[in-house]
Amino acid sequence: MAFCTNCGSKLDDNYAFCTVCGTAVKNDVVNQPQQSQVVYEEFVPTLGMGRKFAFKEKSLVYSDKEYEYAKLKPITLITAPTFASNGVAQTTSEDGELLTLAFSRKDNTRFNSVLSYANEQINAEHGNAKKYKFVLQSPSGSKVEVYSDYLIVYYIKGETTKGSESVNKISKGFGLNGNGLTGKITGGLGKAIDSIGSLGTGINNTFKCGATGDIIMFADLNVNISGDNLIINEYSIPIGQQNFNLAKEIIDYIDNTLKSANEKAEIPPITSEVWEPIVGKIKEFNFYGKSLRIPENLDVFNSYRSKFKEIAQKCLERARSEYDLKINDFISFMEFFPKIYADNLSPIIQKAVDVLVANGNWTVTFDSFYEQHTSEFHLGIDDYNAMTESVNLTVANNQRSVAGVMSHVPTMVGGGFGFKGALKGVAMATTFNAVTQGISNAAIKNARNLTPPQQAELYGRIKADILLKRVFLDYWNVYISLVCTLKNSGSDIWWQTRDADQQYKNIFQNLSNPNFPQDKVLDTLIKLIVTNPYSPEYYEFAISRFGQSEDITKIKEYFGLTE
């Protein structure tokens, strides 16, 4: 049993500090070397608020309880410390317990350093390790994650110095040089105003529950270093000397990526190609001693079905690659999925238009066919819109909660830290197509207004494999939109009507009836297959009744039913 070196109290195994007096436990005090962990940092908040906590190699010790990183959600920095308030970060345990980590202004740099380590461990434990190239954690609480061709800025507004600047300007206007007692009074007044302004900033950050990511493509960046700040478009992020070299590496990486991007396009341009019209041929297969004859118009239909399946698979592979590369969290999903979807659907649409032109249909354009197809086949779009609706509902609930809190908070006027506009209504999400064209819309803006835990919960609902299978169906079904257009234009091509399909389904159900003429079962089955050759149950029935045969395998291979 180990004892505290300060107060002599018994120490629980693997705790980072004494639960009686708060003295840090040295690594050699812990009595079980095989389970011991390094105590990285211990924090004791000031201003009489918050609990002690410590970061260890594989766990977070909070007050008198230890939480393994595997059982915690990522730690969210709510607000950086100010002259008048502690910094605050939060995480949630697997049991739903909210842990609030308060740290003092003097511990700001130290906390931000260990925060990056802890979150990397948490993400790794959950199998969600982010695929960024660089990550820069600012002493102000802001963070920059750099990916393959974009970066995410998690911006937290830090302390303000506008009060001191304003007081100094006014003092100089009255001829006060800031020396002696006058200087102390004006300096104290400026700091007091700064504290009030920083407090307002802290309250605003708290209502937002931390920073939300702003995704910026490299092509849209204006990035440089100015003094001790990394300037990224409108954001000024303090980096300090400890992050100066890292900031330079980030800028060099962005520059090199942009240069190489000019040499190879990620998405090849959509170009038309010569496409010879498909001419159908009669196909005949042996079917348990009888002839199964495929007419020319069904052969044409099957050729388009097979060809566009191949094209759809290639485009889906590219979509999957881009998805894995760019989508790392909920914000990147909302930002990038529509464009990935559209960019990889477009080449398939162009192939269909090429076929139409080759067959003499010159009135259909790329845009009109794209609109026609997505109005009928939109599983991937439906999934995205369902997520957008969840975002809107969550934001609406957040705003009602904030409204309840705000009803008990006095209105703060002036100084640039009021709450004007905090309770704006929720705008309806714009169309999916607006996102694909890079138009800023309510869906993405609302997503950024969600708290990080809310974003993580929504992102957890997305099952990429299932989503991309539905995207594949949207891509492949371009052939149906094509065949329908050809059919309506007078082309002789097979098409299954709903009435005929239902009629033959009814006949199929009766094949198993013992009163059905047994000598007509085989002929009837042939008619069913020619009527709708893409019904697997017809082949299963044939095998169960007449046995497996190479002929059945050949027929299924022809119609693409063997996978």
Please report, for the chain, the start and end positions of each structural domain, with discontinuous segments joined by +.
2-126, 162-261, 306-410+423-472, 498-558
Query: How far is Cα 26 from Cα 437, in angstroms, rounded to an integer?
Result: 57
Residues 6+ apart with CB under 8 A from 99: 53, 60, 62, 67, 72, 90, 91, 92, 93
Query: What is the identity of the amino acid at 106?
Result: K
98-103 sheet: strands from edge to edge: 76-79, 87-92, 98-103
3-class SS of residue 432: helix
The pLDDT value given to residue 40: 65
The pLDDT value given to residue 508: 94
CATH classification for the domain delimited by 2-126, as one of 2.70.180.20, 1.10.357.10, 2.30.29.30, 3.40.50.970: 2.30.29.30
The pLDDT value given to residue 543: 95
The pLDDT value given to residue 3: 58
261-to-149, 219, 322, 462, 535 alpha-carbon distances in Å: 9, 10, 15, 30, 46
Report which of 439, 462, 323, 453 is spatially closest to residue 387, judged by C-alpha positions: 462
- Contact predicate 340/319, CB 8 Å: yes
- Contact predicate 54/17, CB 8 Å: yes
The pLDDT value given to residue 415: 32
Q: What's the pTM value of the predicted model, to 2 decimals?
A: 0.67
Report which of 370, 342, 366, 344 is spatially closest to residue 354, judged by C-alpha positions: 366
Extract the tokens encoding 364.
């259909």
pLDDT in tens, the chain (563 residues): 565 655 555 555 554 545 444 455 554 433 433 343 455 678 887 766 678 999 998 999 998 899 999 999 888 888 888 877 888 889 989 888 999 999 888 888 788 878 888 888 888 887 777 778 898 888 777 889 999 889 988 887 755 445 455 545 555 555 555 555 555 555 554 554 444 444 444 444 443 444 557 888 888 889 999 888 999 998 998 887 778 899 999 999 999 988 887 655 454 555 556 777 889 999 999 999 999 999 999 999 999 999 999 999 999 999 999 999 889 888 889 989 999 999 999 999 999 999 999 999 999 999 999 999 999 999 999 999 999 888 888 878 777 665 554 344 333 333 322 323 322 322 333 346 555 555 446 777 777 778 777 888 889 899 999 999 999 999 999 999 999 999 999 999 998 888 888 888 899 999 999 999 999 999 999 999 999 999 999 999 999 999 999 999 999 999 999 86
DSSP 160: -
Query: How far is Cα 488 from Cα 551, in angstroms, rounded to an integer?
Result: 34
The pLDDT value given to residue 414: 32
213-217 sheet: strands from edge to edge: 134-137, 143-146, 150-154, 213-217
The pLDDT value given to residue 416: 29
The pLDDT value given to residue 51: 87
Task: Classify the C-alpha dihedral 108-114-117-123 as positive or negative.
Answer: negative
Query: How far is Cα 471 from Cα 142, in angstroms, rounded to an integer?
Result: 36
Query: How far is Cα 149 from Cα 146, in angstroms, rounded to an integer?
Result: 8
Report the b/e string of 369-393 with b at 16+ CB within 10 A.
bbebbbeebbebbebbeebbebbbe
With 0-12 CB in 10 A as exposed, 13-18 as middle and 19+ as buried, what is 287? buried
Q: What are phi and psi of 560, to 5 degrees?
A: 70, 35
Query: How far is Cα 185 from Cα 262, in angstroms, rounded to an integer?
Result: 58
